[in-house]
Amino acid sequence: MKKARILKNVSSKIPVTRFLDYKAYLEAVYQAMKTEMDSYSYMQFAEDLGFARSNVMYLIIKGQRPLTTKTGRKIAEALELKAGERKYFDDLVAYFDSDLAPEREVHLQNMVKQKTRTISDSDELMAQLEYFTEWYHVAIYEFSFTPHFTDDPQELAAALIPRIRLDQAKKSLALLQKLGLLALDPGTRKLKPTQARVATGHEIMSMALVRYHQKILELAKQALMTISVEEREISATSMAIAPERMPKIKKEIRNFRKKIMDLAAQDPEPERVYQLSLQLFPMTRKQRTEPT
């Protein structure tokens, strides 16, 4: 019973809403338990969570065994997560457990909603969050720097690829004005871009950016089939990389992206909005290490 109380006390101090990966959350709880109890092990952790005394939690945390929705609920019950955090954990597990994009989108939306409840009620912060949860808000803002921009919602909706709905165009224009990214020009009575930028420092933004990048990847898949090769550049390279080489490679990617942005900034009247996406991710698992 003593260990159960310690586990409950530890988990109550580690908000699951801070995490975008259930493995990282469970590892944080485990490491906190080791701090409380020197001899604590993954086998003990599994037993405390209602499993047989085995290395099952080590395998789950290290990504060598998936966590199903059913098992996730068992863990949430053992950790005695409160209603809001339990719902967040359920969606977090279900998000990784599903292979269907529509289902994953629903779970991600639920997590965003739950995460917003953990922050102070700030209209500005909520508007910033909304800006990154839909790809077309960013696209419309960038479009406003071209001579072809229109603040007519119907024309604007038709100008984007893929086309958006009329109500989405109206809401996006209102949001961009609320954020100070678009402002009414007194002379032309038309919306014009400002030099304002949307902050991304708050932890809530990490969740919004995950959703934003997911939607951008979906657009890239569509472009591969619908945009002519003359108007796009999509390539892929697989390579073997040593872990210590990754920081250098990531730095080079960031430098390359900055060079492209500087090059684009030289155009006084840009014609179209383009999306540049660079993907670098592992295609093999880390080498196994022995549990401690």
Per-residue pLDDT tens over the stretch 36-84: 988 899 999 999 999 999 999 999 999 889 999 999 999 999 999 998 9
pLDDT at 61: 94
pLDDT at 259: 94
pLDDT at 115: 75
Q: Which residues of the chain have pLDDT under 70?
A: 1-2, 116, 118-125, 199-207, 283-292
For 75, phi then psi, to 5°, come to -70, -40
pLDDT at 78: 93
pLDDT at 284: 59
pLDDT at 290: 57
Domain 2-100 has CATH 1.10.30: no
pLDDT at 286: 61
Rounded-to-integer distance, Cα 257 and Cα 40, Å: 45
First to last CA, the chain: 24
pLDDT at 55: 93
Domain boundaries defined on the chain: 2-100, 123-233
